[in-house]
């Protein structure tokens, strides 16, 4: 009879960068009022490993609920699971509008180094949706993994 062992650990900077790649998908959650649940949405992201910054292309039209939440704290989670392992990265902080003057050319260079996958999930052509770019320079960035070692 075999027993399976589990190896758990933190992801260091290099392992986080390898896991995140230059972009993919994750879940962005905005804080809300104390008596409300967080507002969580699946989003595409770009990641710049040089300064460990995330970039988002968010729909912010008049019908968007998140437009009212953009100045609040956020958490962003990327995860992957298979039969014998899982990995996750959690980032927290505040979003910054990339076109704001105080963000400047560093953000634009970081955006250029990342790749935000584009998905059409709005039920109408993307050209009819208002998008803006935001970045998250995390105040906290952690990663974990667990692997099942089969004997």
Q: How does pLDDT run across 24-42, given as a tens digit for each residue? A: 899 999 998 888 899 999 9
The stretches in the chain having pLDDT less than 50 are: none
Report residue 75 as tokens.
Answer: 């958490």
DSSP assignments along 26-80, one per residue: EEEEE---TTS--EEEEEEEEEETTTTEEEEEEE-STT-GGGGTTTSEEEEEEEE
Structural domains of the chain, with CATH = 4-150 (2.30.110.10)
What φ, ψ does residue 107 adopt, rounded to 5°?
-65, -40
pLDDT of residue 113: 59
Task: Identify which of 19, 38, 47 has the alpha carbon closest to the alpha carbon of residue 135.
Answer: 47
- CA–CA separation, 86 and 77 (whole Å): 13
pLDDT of residue 101: 52
Q: Which residues of 114-127 are buried (b: 16+ CB within 10 A; e: fewer)?
A: bbbeeeeeeeeeee
pLDDT of residue 148: 87
138 SS3 class: coil
Residue 95 near residue 135, CB atoms below 8 Å: yes
80: Cβ contacts below 8 Å, ≥ 6 apart: 19, 86, 87, 88
pLDDT of residue 103: 52
Distances (CA, A) of 108 to 60, 112, 114: 20, 6, 10
Residue 70 near residue 9, CB atoms below 8 Å: no
pLDDT of residue 29: 96
Report residue 71 as tokens.
Answer: 């100045």
**pTM of the predicted model over 0.75:** yes
pLDDT of residue 33: 85
pLDDT of residue 11: 97
pLDDT of residue 99: 74
């Amino acid at each position: 009879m075999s027993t399976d062992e589990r190896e758990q650990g933190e992801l260091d900077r290099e392992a986080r960068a390898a896991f995140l790649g230059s972009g993919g998908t994750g879940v962005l959650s905005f804080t809300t009022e104390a008596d409300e649940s967080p507002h969580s949405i699946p989003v595409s992201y770009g990641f710049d490993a040089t300064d460990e910054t995330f970039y988002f292309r968010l729909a912010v039209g008049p019908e968007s609920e998140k437009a009212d939440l953009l100045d609040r704290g956020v958490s962003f989670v990327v995860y992957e699971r298979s039969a014998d392992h899982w990995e996750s990265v959690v980032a927290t902080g505040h979003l910054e509008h990339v076109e704001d003057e105080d963000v400047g050319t560093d953000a634009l260079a970081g955006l250029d180094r990342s790749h935000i996958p584009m998905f059409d999930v709005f039920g109408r052509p993307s050209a009819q949706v208002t998008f803006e770019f935001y970045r998250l320079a995390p105040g906290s960035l952690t990663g974990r993994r667990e692997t099942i070692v089969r004997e």
